[in-house]
Structure 1
């Protein structure tokens, strides 16, 4: 920062800065200097950010949910770095920081940009536009959380549970002399998850779900469960309490509303299962849209006070920190600011922000072909990205980044952006819905990154990392994820299809959030939303909010998050059922666990391995499709043994059941 940027009054600013520094000593004291950004850390960071970005992209498109990868990345780093003569806890923290940034960016991308395919605006993913939007969104998420670091991670009300848990894993690894204890369950689970996906989607030995429907009188009843180890793992990771709330939404949508709407004389397909799917697609999912919309707006209402308080404290804290830094430089006493409190300089932040804003405005201008509209879009995007990065950071500190309602703030962004653009462009403008999606895409990436970054900075605060070095590696992780996300999405689109059924892809990846965003943007500009059903969903969401507020006033801690219920209504029931099974596995294992600390950690690593293995195999199976488009004589499905799965769902039930049993054994400690 320029020495003349802020006037220097006295040494009191440095004293104030020191007095505001927490008294709890980090694992590595500020006076100790250890290597952090090393060659091996940089290489492993890029590799893991790419792998985990791909895994989260698949999971989000498939299930509509993503999971945090900080702890698995930390375990992999600790295990591999023990093969070297020198390594330390700060190197391992740097690796997990960059790796988790890659997977967080993937969540922001897949929740929004596939909507452009669903709207028909793109036929394939545009590489440069997608990469630039992802990079700018991720970069804004990093930059906006830098001044928030001291404001939020030092707030005693914000525990940052995942950041603290990751720090405990790093501390335990630094204190342990064992080799490879953590990576073994991770690798075994990855192989099991990969095999299950290969058997179902590669060899076509069994169906993807055990499902069915029956007619009862004049209506229809549906039941089913997806045969996916990754979904079991998701339920295991989010625990039975949240899984049960999502499942309750599924029961409301599929077992109550669907039979009621099945009484309509309009639903007359040939078989019950087709009828059930049609009723959900044409009616019930719009109830979910209404519930998600209210849930997104309620998220903003919930965080209004913390947001205003955080902005006020940010202004005061930033002034004090920048004044202290200026004083230190002017007096040639840079040691006045401890190593563990040095953030990226303000000048660098400003330059990067201006570059990001200008880049994204060019993308917007290419879509709307009007510089004034593009400038308005860029201003709306920047404002929303800053506000929602703050919201995401606060919520990550409160409930953890995996429970961060990013989809809720993105829904609100797209709705407000669509209304703003409607006032500018008028009704029926063909560029309106894509423009709203493009604003939401950058904001979603920024919000996803905001929550994840502050979790990582909390971890760094505990172990004694240097903040500016973590922030550099967050940019590295964002860059790695942005570069590879388009090839990954293109492979998945070619193999499975995304969001829209077709003759070649009758059962595409559902892309629930992206489908929702497309419906909202299209509905604002061109109509077509069944507002009666959306209104019903809004009323149901309002009722859930009332119940949740009643629960909040009682002791016990059980809550009913409205977005979780709305997601359950909106998702296919077979997905929520599988997530519920995973949550029950964790509950049963908890009751039988012998060593609560070690076994639970191994169970979480095993669950993370199932997600990673299935996702990477799903991407691998898509490669022949891309190759066959270049060389038609190569089969696009070279592993397929049967056109129709010969074992129906039963072999899949057996396979996934055995994997679930092994997950239970790992978590309960019964196999050790």
Structure 2
């Protein structure tokens, strides 16, 4: 039953507010991403801010709030695709500064392609596939709770807890944001680390134990086996001045330059396998879309409002039209028609494949933990190899051309994952898909117009690590992903890429696929989607540990109810309360992360206050996170009142 039929969605106030929040969230996350290497998912913060602002009007509803967060979250997602790639052109010395026109074109067209590519994927990934889309579900819970008031206590309490936790850890320095233990053992290393993030714990709680285990297994195989084994056969890593690295830095250096590419290789194979698995539903989705929207005497076939996507004819037309401006972009930078046209077509192909992969991974682990940089590395690698064949090894413009292709695909993939989360939330609350898709494009365009000025400001204020003209003694913003993109692009043309690890990752992915097919044949409840393991290989270990903890608590809650033979009503209320608490923790941490961008910029990266350094302790943070986990468990297992 369509309970929200007749409610206004695309209202003037919702569009204006969506544009404003998109610009604000894009600007805030640009600095955080370049400084820390990751952005804060904006769907839930945007939903919370939207509810607060729209309450000032006499009439507002849940669908308006959903439309606002749909547009606003596009800003954060688009900026991730830009900052992970385009600063590499500055680092390589190809650009001296950012061009407003070119940055806007690359970001805008890349983001719009991300929206267009996900339209035929919506039914396959959201309706038919058994994917959790944790932040999409959490966003829907926030919207429904704000509308109905049910369970608002749990949402508010945990939102405050998540925000206070991030404030104390990342800004005040009252306790550690993560712990890290490493010891050198002969020529090898023993290493363990964990983020102390309530939001990551909540992601694990929402996705469940199966996926959480797979992500952790990928990380454990890398950090407990691959890195120690590699260090046992090579010389110990040293700093630029020749001094030996400590155990933690050595392990991280090997992961960053070598074993991380196991995950990249696995993602390439896993991504192709995901597309192969979805081939029937993709074709069916496109064909049914064309059939549903086929004009017949000026009349369009009637269909359920909640199943209406943008007309497939328009989608295909916009995709084809986008080839022209992208061709012109490559022609300007490469100045060779025989290279520009194939690269534009390669970009379209890679954009669709990796948008599908990004949407699938967002369904597994959410947008915040979605390794878009891994997808982009794969794109830059493939593009560099093709350019090497077309242009030759001595081509000076080969590496920057590959990065530009990677930038468009990164923007498309980032928006694709975000768009899927928004469409999942919209499906739960009863939104109209085509209206969300339009607002996603509005958010893309509005944020694309401000990204270049923000990048210019940050370059002039701080510069980027690895930038050739950086003044002596100035470190600049770390821009870790951009430095990796520059290294990969130059590595193909100049040598130095760890090909053995890339190929090993591909072999591992094939083995995991075969295991998953065998489990499917046995009809096992435990499955092994290859991308979940690939994510674990690619991400630093500290991100996968709290996700595993969340999965364990989720399983413990289900086991508690099964042993006590709880009624369906009790299980339902318990599940809602647990989900609300997880959503609240994500909301609080995300909101605080965005708010802290302002003082962090003012303090120019000096985010810990020195007068509380003596209280810094990962033990304190660990105890607090375990306390939060126990709190979620107790509320989720509390007997529901009749």
Q: Equivalent residue for 2:3?
A: 27
Q: Equivalent residue for 1:263?
A: 232
Q: Does 1:293 align with 2:265?
A: yes
Q: Does 1:611 align with 2:590?
A: yes
Q: Equivalent residue for 1:596?
A: 575
Q: Equivalent residue for 1:135?
A: 108
SS of aligned partner of 1:559: coil
Q: CA distance change for structure 1 residues 271 and 395 in 2, over 3 Å: closer, same or farther? A: closer
Q: How many Å apart are 1:234 and its aligned residue?
A: 5.2
Q: Does 1:647 align with 2:614?
A: yes
Q: CA distance change for structure 1 residues 466 and 562 in 2, over 3 Å: closer, same or farther? A: closer
Q: Which of residues 408, 422, 425 is equivalent to 2:391? A: 425
**1-side partners of 2:352 and 2:318: how far apart?**
14
Check the 8 A contact 2:83/2:479 in 1, yes or no.
no
Q: CA distance change for structure 1 residues 399 and 135 in 2, over 3 Å: closer, same or farther? A: same
Q: How many Å apart are 1:318 and its aligned residue?
A: 0.4
Rg larger in 1 or in 2? 1
Gap regions ≥5 residues in structure 2: 562-572
Q: Cα deviations across residues 40-88 of structure 1 (Å, max 9, x unaligned)?
A: 3234323443455467667766887777654554454345434432122
Structure 1 segment 80-159 matched on structure 2, within 5 A: 80-117=53-90, 119-122=92-95, 126-146=99-119, 152=124, 156-157=128-129
Q: Cα deviations across residues 331-376 of structure 1 (Å, max 9, x unaligned)?
A: xxx7967766665567865775566444333332332233442233
Q: CA distance change for structure 1 residues 143 and 368 in 2, over 3 Å: closer, same or farther? A: same
Q: How many Å apart are 1:94 and its aligned residue?
A: 1.2
Q: Does 1:532 align with 2:500?
A: yes
SS of aligned partner of 1:26: coil
Q: CA distance change for structure 1 residues 658 and 96 in 2, over 3 Å: closer, same or farther? A: same
Deviates more, 1:69-78 or 1:430-439: 69-78
Q: Equivalent residue for 1:327?
A: 298
Q: CA distance change for structure 1 residues 111 and 346 in 2, over 3 Å: closer, same or farther? A: same
Q: CA distance change for structure 1 residues 286 and 576 in 2, over 3 Å: closer, same or farther? A: same
Q: CA distance change for structure 1 residues 597 and 160 in 2, over 3 Å: closer, same or farther? A: closer
Q: Which of residues 397, 403, 415 is equivalent to 1:437? A: 403
Q: Does 1:472 align with 2:438?
A: yes
Q: CA distance change for structure 1 residues 653 and 62 in 2, over 3 Å: closer, same or farther? A: farther
**1-side partners of 2:195 and 2:477: how far apart?**
14
Q: Which of residues 296, 311, 316 is equivalent to 2:283? A: 311
Q: Equivalent residue for 1:17?
A: none
Q: How many Å apart are 1:92 and its aligned residue?
A: 2.0
Q: Does 1:302 align with 2:274?
A: yes
TM-score, normalised to structure 1's length? 0.76
SS of aligned partner of 2:78: helix
**2-side partners of 1:638 and 1:57: how far apart?**
16
SS of aligned partner of 2:438: helix
Q: CA distance change for structure 1 residues 537 and 391 in 2, over 3 Å: closer, same or farther? A: closer
Deviates more, 1:121-130 or 1:494-503: 494-503
- Matched residue pairs, number? 620
**2-side partners of 1:267 and 1:193: how far apart?**
35
**2-side partners of 1:259 and 1:390: how far apart?**
34
**1-side partners of 2:43 and 2:386: how far apart?**
37
Check the 8 A contact 2:387/2:398 in 1, yes or no.
yes
**1-side partners of 2:249 and 2:348: how far apart?**
40
Q: Equivalent residue for 1:366?
A: 332
Gap regions ≥5 residues in structure 1: 1-24, 329-333, 626-635
Q: Equivalent residue for 1:46?
A: 19
Q: Does 1:450 align with 2:416?
A: yes
Check the 8 A contact 1:206/1:647 in 2, yes or no.
no
Q: CA distance change for structure 1 residues 336 and 277 in 2, over 3 Å: closer, same or farther? A: closer
Check the 8 A contact 1:600/1:668 in 2, yes or no.
no
Q: Cα deviations across residues 360-417 of structure 1 (Å, max 9, x unaligned)?
A: 3333233223344223322222233244445555676788767877556544433332
Q: Cα deviations across residues 217-275 of structure 1 (Å, max 9, x unaligned)?
A: 34333334455566555555555544443333333333333333333462275987525
Q: CA distance change for structure 1 residues 504 and 660 in 2, over 3 Å: closer, same or farther? A: farther
Deviates more, 1:456-465 or 1:521-530: 456-465
Check the 8 A contact 2:557/2:636 in 1, yes or no.
no
Q: Cα deviations across residues 573-600 of structure 1 (Å, max 9, x unaligned)?
A: 4444455455556666777898331232
Deviates more, 1:218-227 or 1:228-237: 228-237
Q: CA distance change for structure 1 residues 595 and 110 in 2, over 3 Å: closer, same or farther? A: same
Q: CA distance change for structure 1 residues 236 and 47 in 2, over 3 Å: closer, same or farther? A: farther
**2-side partners of 1:166 and 1:115: how far apart?**
33
Structure 1 segment 501-512 matched on structure 2, within 5 A: 509=478, 511=480
Structure 1 segment 205-354 matched on structure 2, within 5 A: 209-226=178-195, 232=201, 235=204, 238-264=207-233, 266-267=235-236, 274-278=246-250, 280-282=252-254, 285-311=257-283, 313-324=285-296, 326-328=297-299, 344=310, 353=319
Q: How many Å apart are 1:426 and its aligned residue?
A: 0.6
Q: Cα deviations across residues 158-182 of structure 1 (Å, max 9, x unaligned)?
A: 6675556655654555444898874
Q: How many Å apart are 1:427 and its aligned residue?
A: 0.9
Check the 8 A contact 1:250/1:568 in 2, yes or no.
yes
**2-side partners of 1:458 and 1:283: how far apart?**
34
Q: Equivalent residue for 2:599?
A: 620
SS of aligned partner of 1:266: coil
Q: CA distance change for structure 1 residues 181 and 39 in 2, over 3 Å: closer, same or farther? A: farther
Deviates more, 1:456-465 or 1:371-380: 456-465
Q: How many Å apart are 1:495 and its aligned residue?
A: 6.2
Q: CA distance change for structure 1 residues 395 and 585 in 2, over 3 Å: closer, same or farther? A: closer
